[in-house]
Amino acid sequence: MLNDLNAGTSQGPIGREGRVYREASPTELIYIATRMIVVSHSSLSGTVGRAQFEAAVAHLEARYGILRSVVEDGYFVARTDDRSAVETWLPAEEGSAEAMYARLLNADLDTSKTLYAIHVIAAHDAIDVFMLTSHAITDATSLIELHSCLAHMCDCVVRGAAPALGAQPFPTPVDDAVSRSLAALGTDALSSSYSGKFAEIPMPAPHDGDPVTHRLERVVIAADAMHRIKAASHATGSSVHSLLLAAFALAIRDVADGNPRQILMRSSVDMRRRLEPHVSPELVFTAITGHITPVPDLDRPMVEIARFIFDDVHQGLANGSIFHDYINYPRAFGSPQQAPVAINVSDIQTVQFHWPVERLAVTGFEYALGWMKKFPNVSVSVYDGTLIANIVYVEEFATPATIRAISDGFVRRLDSVCAQ
């Protein structure tokens, strides 16, 4: 899954010899075409000055060359400018996480000029680091790697130590590995047509094509409640992920028009661990696909819905449908004809920063993804036992009151299953 600089120059556009890394994959290109961005946020306690932070970012870019690339005419090429990736350094009294999310989720990231930017809110003894990245180069696994390594680099600079991490070769996409895995299974693509009425979040009014506004609804579940949710998922033969989807499914049915019994729930699936051999989580690139689970009967108990979702995802790995999902993803994701999906859940659960820190301490991590789909995206992470679910939605496609009702219903459903 690695590629060296210049490996593709003989095939690259004229005039870029020496700058071309490789051609972008269809999945990476669809993320760029649809302007999908991710906002990630980590918190560090300890004193870090701006000059020290800039030095740490320079070390980060030296390790992950993909951060110093841009996309031109379908190719990843090396950036030629030396401008800093740190675009904002705000004193704590002048900024807030809420305002930063609102700004960045509605930002325009020109991938021909940069694939990421960093914004910092700094107190005298702590910093909040926000990364705005193209989804073409970062999924949740990559974001954890970047924030973990940046914390390590900051710690090294603060201590006056030289970071010992070497440069990472430019990663290649998992497309060929997915195709090999699918060929080994020898299965044909399954039909994905859907019939009948499905529960969806009601739109306030038809969208007129004007610019839209992304909003964030944040759900926080404390560590003791998360412990009970994990125990309930294991006791009922499912998983935390499937239990979360079941709770969202029922909460959406509560606000849907016509009381439909069916719903389409979408899960983001990281292909790294689905391939043999596994792909290293230290590689910074995107390896995500989307898998749709059609839930046929919302009148069933929540734990049964969770087991159905759990079984569907695992069957998708066994019968190859998730590999087909990945191969078909660029066409399906960019198609004007979209399945009536209710919501997408990206769930990385327990976050662990594996690069060491000595003088500083990591105190939090979360992320949120913005897109132009009619259905919201939920980015779930669990740090130090606490779950944060960031629901990003387009205000023109769903009202804040509706999304708040869904988040309240989601929490209420989880509370009820833990009480059983």
The pLDDT score that the predictor gives to residue 326 is 93
Mean predicted confidence (pLDDT) in 83-105: 96
> Cα–chain-centroid distance for residue 239?
19
Q: Dihedral sign, CA of 356, 357, 363, 366?
A: negative
The pLDDT score that the predictor gives to residue 259 is 86
Query: From CA 234, how far away is CA 49, in angstroms rounded?
Result: 45
Could you please state the CATH topology (level 3) that the domain comprising 2-169 is classified under. Answer: Chloramphenicol Acetyltransferase (3.30.559)
The pLDDT score that the predictor gives to residue 190 is 66
Q: Hey, where are the domains in the chain?
A: 2-169, 196-350+374-419
pLDDT tens by residue, 129-145:
999 999 999 999 999 99
Residues 252-256: contacts with CB under 8 Å, at least 24 apart: 252/199, 252/200, 252/201, 252/342, 252/343, 252/406, 253/199, 253/298, 254/405, 254/406, 254/409, 255/201, 255/202, 255/402, 255/405, 255/406, 255/409, 256/199, 256/200, 256/201, 256/202, 256/342
Query: From CA 396, how far away is CA 214, in angstroms rounded?
Result: 9
Mean predicted confidence (pLDDT) in 362-382: 94
Name the band, by pLDDT with cuts 50, 70 and 90, for residue 249. Answer: very high
Query: From CA 360, how far away is CA 375, in angstroms rounded?
Result: 39
Check whether 18 has a pLDDT greater than 70.
no
Mark residue 251 as left, alpha or beta (left: phi above 0; alpha: psi -120 to 50; beta: remaining).
alpha
The pLDDT score that the predictor gives to residue 109 is 94
The pLDDT score that the predictor gives to residue 277 is 86
CATH architecture of the region 196-350+374-419: 2-Layer Sandwich (3.30)
Query: From CA 248, how far away is CA 254, in angstroms rounded?
Result: 10
The pLDDT score that the predictor gives to residue 191 is 62
Query: From CA 60, how far away is CA 52, in angstroms rounded?
Result: 12
The pLDDT score that the predictor gives to residue 12 is 44
pLDDT tens by residue, 193-230:
787 899 999 998 777 777 889 999 999 999 999 999 99
The pLDDT score that the predictor gives to residue 218 is 97
Q: Are strands 170-171 and 2-3 parallel, antiparallel or unpaired?
A: antiparallel
The pLDDT score that the predictor gives to residue 90 is 97
- Sheet strands side by side (includes 69-72): 20-23, 75-78, 69-72
Check whether 13 has a pLDDT greater than 70.
no
The pLDDT score that the predictor gives to residue 189 is 63
